Amino acid sequence: MPITPATATHSSSNGNAEAILLELVDEDGTTIGTAEKLTAHQPPGQLHRAFSVFLFDERGRLLLQQRALGKYHSPGVWSNTCCGHPYPGEAPFAAAARRTFEELGVSPSLLAEAGTVRYNHPDPESGLVEQEYNHLFVGMVQSALRPDPEEVGSTVFVSAGELAGRHAKDPFSAWFMTVLDAARPAIRELTGDSAGW
């Protein structure tokens, strides 16, 4: 992981992982404190900052990832290109670029902000709750993927029509349609009307 002012406090000199802290926010997205990641997701959930990334290829197809089976939250389900949480003090844009590289081994091109969305999605499988103030980003992927198998089980590029069929038969994350619908205006601006998003 690249060491930045935000990530320096989340790395230890002996290589052991420390507890991951998330930024707690109010309904306007103003930071009000921090909480340990798992604690923030315990019912009823604590509202915290998150991000979701949607990357497309030159044909206007969306890159989906299947979450690795070893993940504690929503393992094995399909979701948007990348999602996660900024470290306290880390800008959402920087976190989105950092985490996309960590998970998929690529740096997004033309990454742009696409608004925010607030939601409350319980996950019936894990019993955890997503109470998130989510920053949305859209961009392009223009190099070969190198997914981290501890994070990503599989990847696929889909057209808007292919997504509809896949969503009808495959398990997707509880938050997927909420973040996709909120990002659609920016997605259409990036991909053009002919892509069908």
Per annotation, catalytic residue among 23, 90, 103, 132: 132
Residue 132 among the catalytic residues: yes
Give the pairing of strands 129-140 and 78-79: unpaired
Structure tokens at 106: 């690529």
Q: How many CB atoms lie within 10 A of CB 181?
A: 11
- CA nearest to 64, candidates 142, 176, 149, 161: 176
Per annotation, catalytic residue among 23, 82, 83, 103: 83
Structure tokens at 39: 């604690």
Q: What number of H helices and E strands is found in the chain?
A: 5, 9
Residue 167 CA to residue 57 CA, distance in Å, equals: 20
Residue 103 CA to residue 65 CA, distance in Å, equals: 10
| Catalytic (active-site) positions | 83, 132
